[in-house]
Amino acid sequence: MHELLIRGGRVIDPETGRDDVCDVAVAQGRIAAVGRDLGPATRSIDAHGLVVAPGFIDLHAHGQSLPADRMQAFDGVTTTLELEAGALPVAAWYGEQARRGRTLNYGCAVNWVTARIAVMNRVAPENGLGFMARHASDRRWADAIASDEEVAAIVAMLRAGLDEGGIGIGVLNAYAPGSGVKEMTAVCELAAGQGVPTYTHVAFMANEDPQSSIEAYTRLVGYAGTTGAHMHICHFNSTSMMDAELAARLVATAQGQGLRVTTEAYPYGTGSTLMSAAFFRDPEFARRGGRDWSALEVLDTGRRFEKHEDVLRAQAQDPGAIVLWHFLDTQANQRHREILDASVLFAGGAIASDAMPWTQPDGSIYEGDAWPLPEGLSSHPRSAGTFTRFLARWVRERRAMSLLDGLAKCTLIPARILGESTPVMRAKGRLQAGCDADIVVFDWDRLEDRATFRAMNQAAVGMRHVLVHGEAVVDGGELVRDARPGRPVRRPRSP
């Protein structure tokens, strides 16, 4: 007798191409069988008229907390990973997540920029996005070329993080623009030698040379070619700016030559970052990105900017504030929608949210247990609706691809990006016997994101059941408040 039987749903497995009506049996946290006439079960879910698919895998999620997990569960996410920024110290990060208990599976890369701050500013590394903001006044770590001794110390710190189970190296290159090519080469050589990806926020974001997005992508492709590293491009949409179509052609050509370059994108024309971001110090950043400074908005206050001097003052006053960058106007501009499509629909690219933490009106991160999330919290709509937005708008409404292919971008493709280096990911993103029972059951006709920039804490709708290792975290469309089945996604210790 099975522990759970999901009966009569439209079962979709992107790896095998299965798309038919059948049952899914679950036992001991894994999928026991997929087919018909699977026998009795202790518990069953009636999935008639619903889609049954692998749980979604988010490669790029900064929230990493109970409130963030809950919002992402209603977006179909069962595994949420902090890869672009990562963490350092890594073992301490995993230990803290285990102590708290997590609703979703979790994991992190090793944070290169934290290692750089620790070495070049001679401080102890600390976890959290606020570490950069706390060292915004002493910017040697961001603006200076590291000495050979400093590079060796940075690489040693990254190697130690990989030994502690970090699932690659997070490279926030644009936040430390002073770093040199020799340092990046050393980092990529480490990644290649350890067989792990780098998850890179490319060095430059602009439509014009020098230091254009295209220059940054060309440099990244060069690292893949010269070091053999797997270079994963974070938020392909926001770092491409207006040049997403050209960037997509160049990356596709590199892939065609056998280089290990992969991508992810989120389905929004607005990005989010910290006020302290180095690129906002460039007086030409807005113009070179095709916008003006009014495109920059402080999240918690709604403040917009008129002049670069105002931006610099805001950086000095509150470097840790979360800000929005409206790099595309996809509501009113058809051309901007086409530009966004180039990254979101990129063949073989993953969907990933870049989900931000949920912050309170005073700017502190919300870690509470209230559900629904309290009024007044801020984040970004992508923190609540990335995957449902993509599936509802690009797949169901626009029919830009089949549901099978759309689900692959949310499940199988991210699992494969990690599978070579992180064995536990080979059992995720698939709906087959022996795979982890990370499963979503959703109403395809009702699936919809609801979060907006005026009402960010609106959970997506349409997810009827979300299982993590066979345990319900969403049951009948309702949150299971005490569910904590999330497990670490971690690499085995390096030899």
CATH number for region 2-54+426-479: 2.30.40.10
Own/partner pairs, 217-225, CB within 8 angstroms, 24+ separation: 217/247, 217/250, 217/251, 218/250, 219/181, 220/261, 221/250, 221/251, 221/254, 221/259, 221/261, 223/184, 223/185, 223/188, 223/198, 224/188, 224/254, 224/259, 224/260, 224/261, 225/254, 225/259
**pLDDT score at 130:** 87
Q: What's the rounded mean pLDDT across residues 451-470?
A: 95
pLDDT of residue 187: 98
Give the model's confidence band at 493: pLDDT under 50 very low, under 70 low, under 90 confident, else very high. confident
Residues of the chain with CATH 3.20.20.140: 56-424
Residue with tokens 């058809």: 334
Whole-number pLDDT of residue 174 = 95
Helix (H, G, I), strand (E, B) or coil at 232: strand
| C-alpha 256 chain-centroid distance | 25
pLDDT at 7: 97
Nearest to 359 by CA among 457, 452, 450: 457
The pLDDT score that the predictor gives to residue 393 is: 98
The per-residue pLDDT of the chain, averaged, comes to 96
Tens digit of pLDDT for each residue in 355-397? Answer: 999 999 888 899 999 999 999 899 999 999 999 999 999 999 9
Give the integer Cα–Cα distance in Å for 416 and 425. Answer: 8
The pLDDT assigned to 495 comes to 45
3-state secondary structure of 472: strand
The C-alpha atoms of residue 448 and residue 459 are separated, in whole angstroms, by 9
Q: What is the pLDDT of residues 263-320, one digit of tens each?
A: 999 999 999 899 999 999 999 999 999 999 999 999 888 899 999 999 999 999 999 8
Class of domain 56-424: alpha beta
- Does the structure show a pLDDT above 60 at 166? yes
81 and 93 Cβ atoms separated by less than 8 Å: no
Name which of 169-173, 270-274, 349-353, 417-421 the model is least confident about: 270-274
Q: What is the mean pLDDT of residues 412-422?
A: 97
Among 246, 197, 204, which Cα is nearest to 224's? 197
SS3 478: strand
pTM, 2 dp: 0.96
pLDDT on residue 173: 97
Distance, in Å, from the CA atom of 452 to the CA atom of 474, rounded to the nearest integer, reads 22
The Cα 25–Cα 61 span in angstroms is 30
Question: In this model, does residue 494 exceed pLDDT 60?
Answer: no
- Domain span(s) for CATH 2.30.40.10 in the chain: 2-54+426-479
d(CA 165, CA 145): 28
Helix axes 181-194, 148-163, angle to 10 degrees: 30
Asked if residue 125 has pLDDT above 70, the reply is yes
Give mean pLDDT, residues 438-445: 98
